[in-house]
């Protein structure tokens, strides 16, 4: 335990030094010049105009052309893993109320199906679609072409080979045995190598930027590029942590992969597309930077609240609960900015289908963060932890927030990347309602069922079997909601493949948009 706590504190010290260095650099280069002019940097040199569906399509000579190949590969790779992960998720959900179904082989058992679903969603879908957004957005806000795009392509193949080997070997029983880190560490190191190939082009692009001020989306993306490799490498390095120490590092990583990797990708993407689609700057640029630095300062120790009641020093858990409460500050800052900007321009929700996804995901970020902070309180945690309530909360953050923002981003990027519109906008609306209604059924079923399960487990007069049986109708509802979400993903894949296979229409000068 002493080595683990020392390592975490030492890492926090090093990360704090890096953050302090960035902070000094930001002040020295006037990155904190908080005025409306800085907020308008997202629009580039052109006047701010709405960028809703069908008005801006393709730029044949600008920045997007260089980014197009790695972005296309990453989106297609992400969709492949999304479909596979969705199938595993539905199977795992059905097994909770059909326990004898598909038990003929070890790879088909619940434990492996669920872990495959979780890891493929995290590393196959969310990470790749998030990196695709980084490759699309950062060159635009830096107003320069992506540097070394061929390295990004190499990174794509290495990443997908690593995910494939990790998933196949896990299915047959080779695993590190930790949640969110089930793939064998040898294949995780392949993902680390792929990450190097992903990061180098972005760092070179940032160094070559033709703007002085870094828009808030750039802060989130650049920070994520520093945070996630550190988290992933340390959590996977073999032979350092054992027993309780291993559980501590496991939850330090598992929560931070949501808060310091997926959250920056989702929030940064929303901060770019909301003002771009509406054609107006965000409500308060100063609040946006407060939100970023609040996340950077308060989030890193949040995950240990998952070990409340465990054999850990009390101060470690209490520190985690305090950090969870402090997260209200950056979340409220983001909420005011994004929700007020959309609320003042509701006309854009009617005109832009991608904005509906992104605005919905932004609202879910607020709700997921509030719920997570309250869930960290000991009085609430006593009832909800070790129940299906926690699974519902995880999906509120990773799915309703990050995934749905990424659906909207993909729908906005694809027509501009390939130079043609979606042939059937009605299928995009179908996708939206399938995932929104499916998620609502899924979330409320697990939330209600989880609370009933927790109360039953705390009641000494009731058996453990009774606490399991009380959840059965809610688990059946979960399968209905999850199946609807999976069908939505099939529609999403059909939309993306359809626009790629459709013939390109003749380009018209008035329909092109310069990349910032």
Closest CA to 378 of 325, 301, 308: 308
C-alpha radius of gyration, the chain, whole number: 22
**Segment 331-362, tens digit of pLDDT:** 999 999 999 999 999 999 999 999 999 999 99
| Interval 357-384: pLDDT, tens | 999 999 999 999 999 999 999 999 999 9
pLDDT given at position 510: 42
Cβ(255)–Cβ(321) below 8 Å: no
CATH superfamily of 61-500: Cytochrome c oxidase-like, subunit I domain (1.20.210.10)
Q: Give residue 127's pLDDT.
A: 97
Indicate whether 413 pLDDT > 90: yes
Q: Round to whole Å and give the CA distance between 496 and 77.
A: 12
Q: Which residue's entry shows tokens 């492996």? A: 112
In the predicted structure, residue 388 carries a pLDDT above the cut 60: yes
State the sign of the Cα–Cα–Cα–Cα dihedral 136, 141, 144, 150. Answer: negative
pTM of the model: 0.91
Helix, strand, coil content of the chain in percent (nearest 5): 75, 0, 25
| Predicted confidence (pLDDT) per residue in 256-281, tens digit | 999 999 999 999 999 999 999 999 99
Mean pLDDT of all residues belonging to the chain: 89
Q: pLDDT tens-digit profile of 280-322?
A: 999 988 889 889 988 988 888 888 888 998 888 898 899 899 9
pLDDT confidence of 440, banded at 50, 70, 90?
very high
Sequence spans of domains, the chain: 61-500
Q: Answer yes or no: is pLDDT of 5 > 90.
A: no
Better-predicted residue by pLDDT, 335 or 212:
335
């Amino acid at each position: 335990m002493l080595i683990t706590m020392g390592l975490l504190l030492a890492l926090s010290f090093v990360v704090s030094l890096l953050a302090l260095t960035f902070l000094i650099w930001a002040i020295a280069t006037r990155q904190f010049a908080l005025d409306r002019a800085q907020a308008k940097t997202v629009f580039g040199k052109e006047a701010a105009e709405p960028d809703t569906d069908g008005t801006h399509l393709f730029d044949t000579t600008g920045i997007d052309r260089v980014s197009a190949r790695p972005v296309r590969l990453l989106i297609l790779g992400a969709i492949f893993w999304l479909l596979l992960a969705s199938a595993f998720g539905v199977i795992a959900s059905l097994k909770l109320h059909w326990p004898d179904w598909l038990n003929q082989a070890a790879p088909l058992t619940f434990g492996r199906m669920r872990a495959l679903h979780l890891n493929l969603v995290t590393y196959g879908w969310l990470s790749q679609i998030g990196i695709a957004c980084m490759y699309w957005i950062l060159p635009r806000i830096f107003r320069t072409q992506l540097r070394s795009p061929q390295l990004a392509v190499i990174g794509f193949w290495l990443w997908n080979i690593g995910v494939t080997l990790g998933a196949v070997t896990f299915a047959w029983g080779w695993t590190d045995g930790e949640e969110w880190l089930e793939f064998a560490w040898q294949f995780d190191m392949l993902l680390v190598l792929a990450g190097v190939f992903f990061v180098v082009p972005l760092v070179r692009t940032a160094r070559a930027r033709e703007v002085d001020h870094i828009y808030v989306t750039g802060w989130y993306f650049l920070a994520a590029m520093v945070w996630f490799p550190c988290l992933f490498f340390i959590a996977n390095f073999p032979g350092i942590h054992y027993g309780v120490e291993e559980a501590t590092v496991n939850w330090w990583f598992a929560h931070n992969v949501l808060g310091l990797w997926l959250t920056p990708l989702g929030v940064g993407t929303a901060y770019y597309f909301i003002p771009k689609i509406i054609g107006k700057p965000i409500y308060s640029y100063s609040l946006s930077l407060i939100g970023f630095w609040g996340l950077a300062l308060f989030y890193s120790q949040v995950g240990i609240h998952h070990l409340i009641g465990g054999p850990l020093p009390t101060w470690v858990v209490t520190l985690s609960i305090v950090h969870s409460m402090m997260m209200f500050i950056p979340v409220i800052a983001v909420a005011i900015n994004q929700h007020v900007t959309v609320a003042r321009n509701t006309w854009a929700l009617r005109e832009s289908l991608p904005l509906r996804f992104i605005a919905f995901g932004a609202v879910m970020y607020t709700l997921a963060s509030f719920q997570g902070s309250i869930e960290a309180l000991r009085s609430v945690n006593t009832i909800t932890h070790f129940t299906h309530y926690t699974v519902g909360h995880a999906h509120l953050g990773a799915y309703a927030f990050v995934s749905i923002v990424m659906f909207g981003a993909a729908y906005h990027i694809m027509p501009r990347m390939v130079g043609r519109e979606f042939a059937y906008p009605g299928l995009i609306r179908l996708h939206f309602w399938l995932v929104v209604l499916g998620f609502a059924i899924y979330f409320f079923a697990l939330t209600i069922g989880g609370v009933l399960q927790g109360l039953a487990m705390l009641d000494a007069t009731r058996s453990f079997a009774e606490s399991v049986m009380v959840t059965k109708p809610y688990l059946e509802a979960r399968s209905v909601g999850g199946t609807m979400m999976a069908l939505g993903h099939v529609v999403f894949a059909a939309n993306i493949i359809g626009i790629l296979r459709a013939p390109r229409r003749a380009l018209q000068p008035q329909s092109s948009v310069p990349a910032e």
